[in-house]
Amino acid sequence: MVVAPVQILPEARARIIDTLTTQKIPAEYGLRVGVKGGGCGASWLLGFDLPGPTDEIYAIDGVRVIIDKRHLLYVLDATIGFEQTEAGNGFVVDRGSDLK
């Protein structure tokens, strides 16, 4: 059994599926989860993309998730959520005290 490397919270899942549907994103695409940059300047990478040769593909709660094998260690155990605040709405990724 393959364990999902990331968790997608229900509100985030609903927003992802809504975006895929309303934007008519082709089924071959998935949600890419990764990191950009390194060290203290690293940030989360979320977006819809096609898988490449170095990617792993996971089905997580009905969402196709794409993670580059080189990023797997950094995204392992991350939780993807969605927040609505006075400042705006958006996806958030939490991995404890690591990247925010």
Tell me the β-bridge partners of 82: 91
Are 65 and 33 in contact, with CB atoms under 8 Å apart? yes
CA distance 1 to 71: 21
Q: Looking at residue 78, what is its pLDDT? A: 94
Q: Looking at residue 100, what is its pLDDT? A: 45
Other CB atoms within 10 Å distance of the CB of residue 16? 25
pLDDT tens, residue order, the chain (100 aa): 567 899 999 999 999 999 999 999 999 999 999 998 876 777 899 999 999 999 999 999 999 999 999 999 989 999 999 999 898 899 999 986 554 4
